Amino acid sequence: MKAYIIYVKMQDVEPKVWRRIILPAGATFQKLHAIIQESTNFQSSSMQIPYHFHEFRLPEENLVVTDEPVIYEESKGKKKGPMKVRKPQSLKIDVYLEKYRSLSYTYDFGDNWQFVIELEQIVDDYHFGYPTLLDGAGDAPPEDVGGVPGFIHMKQVLADPQHPEHDHLLWWSKEQNFRTYDRKWTNQILKHLKIQKTEWNKINHLNHEIISDKYLVEDEKERAELPDGLDEALFYDYVRACTNLYGIVPDKQVLAIFNKQNPQMYVKLNTFVSLVTSKEWSEQTDGAVLREGMSFVHPLLQDLGSPEKIRQEQAGKDWYMPEKEELLKYTASGYIEKNIPYEELKTALKPNFSKLQPVDVDQVLWNFGMDLQIADSFNTAMTAMLSHLPPFENMEDVNKVAQKAMNFANNQRLWANCGHTPREISRLKPLSPLSKEQRPVGGSDQKMGRNDPCMCGSGKKYKKCCGRGI
């Protein structure tokens, strides 16, 4: 959403007191007043009746925006006068801030605190409906300290524990809610100043716990206390293993699997967020796992720009959950389950390889397995594998390899199936049985009709399945 980054500076106060704040467009002057109050040590915005009054002056518009009732009442009915007066509750800042890029703000006509508000930048990638304090410095004065001279005196006394007024002024400052500058505490307060609706669908979060954001200040992301006995290396192994097994997997699914298999190290949500946003995260994953929103993503999917396609195919399917020992085998990026169909296909391919070939049969099978993850059809993956092989001597050998390759494919754990194999999915959702008929591929004289049942056993017509695009 559209937002403004503003620089707010108190006049005549040393050391300098300033705040850099981002706020959604559409704020009223009253809301801007509240933001400044909460970013300093003033209290009027939290009271039903203002502690002190305030005003914004726009001399270019001959305009005063104020909550001072006497000034407003005196201006009513006057069509002509030195200044137009408006109430801050309904007038929005956008037009004036963008047009003049600077506003003046006065709070407490007795202590006479003067502020300058400067527009630094207009952005369109801020997604929170409330303001955020990005940066700042300097301790702001408390209410009724006596203006700039009184504030100087208070700081001098508090800096000298031997001063006769020290204890009294320390107590008084606490009564007035005087706090030193604390960005984290201020942002907790600013979250309650709603201006727009937060766009959670565009924010990297987990159950509304912010994981990362361009405008989230790094030093506010404190590392949560880790549970006793937590093996962080094991936790990161789970993240890598789940990403390799599922291709794209929601944060909450990884957390659920880890906690179920390691109840003695139970990780709560805030700890989980801390673990996946820490410096150790990038070191432990080393580019083998990427983050997209609230999911972990395999780099191959990101490179091909297809995470959303896999996510859509996963929709409505249950997650395959292997035992701990089997799951952790997927920590290795090149792991493929070497089951009976794997060994049978390997045996069928071996005669086509020699020691002089630069690529071995296991590498070809791994490539075939990865092609099955991302290819539009079995035929596409099969064609890619055959391109690495020397010509077959006869059609019988082609059909033998094709049969073993189909069996391998039906028992391959696929990202689109949430880690299940096509054979397991066919058991979970009744489909037509896998075809037992040997159907030659790649050069057979017998051609499959476009309306024939597909040889992969999906139950779909060939033209709607592996024959798409052929």
Instruction: Provide DSSP, 256-308.
Output: HHHHHH-GGGPPPHHHHHHHHHSHHHHHHHTTSSEEETTEEE-HHHHHHT-HH
Rounded distance between C-alpha atoms, residue 444 and residue 395, angstroms = 7
Note the pLDDT tens digit of each residue in 296-328.
999 988 777 778 888 888 998 999 999 999 999
Between 119 and 438, the higher pLDDT residue: 119
Residue 107's contacts (CB-CB under 8 Å, 6 or more residues apart) are 33, 36, 37, 42, 44, 52, 54, 113, 115
pLDDT for 320 equals 94
Rounded distance between C-alpha atoms, residue 94 and residue 4, angstroms = 9
Structure confidence at residue 249 as a pLDDT band (50, 70, 90):
very high
Note the pLDDT tens digit of each residue in 345-398.
888 888 776 655 566 788 888 888 888 888 767 888 888 888 777 777 777 877
Within 10 angstroms of residue 129's Cβ, the number of other Cβ atoms is 18
pLDDT at 441 over 50: no
pLDDT for 285 equals 73
What is the percentage of the chain residues whose pLDDT exceeds 70?
A: 85
Between 13 and 225, the higher pLDDT residue: 13
Residue with tokens 């890598």: 240
Q: Is 173 left (phi over 0), alpha (psi -120 to 50) or beta?
A: alpha
May I ask the CATH architecture of the domain 3-140+181-202? Roll (3.10)
User: Per the confidence metrics, is the pTM higher than 0.75?
Assistant: no
The CATH code of domain 232-330 reads 1.10.10
Note the pLDDT tens digit of each residue in 77-92.
666 667 899 999 999 9
Residue with tokens 């995260």: 281
Structure confidence at residue 426 as a pLDDT band (50, 70, 90):
confident
Average pLDDT over residues 327-337: 89
Q: Is the dihedral of CA 46, 47, 49, 52 positive or negative?
A: negative
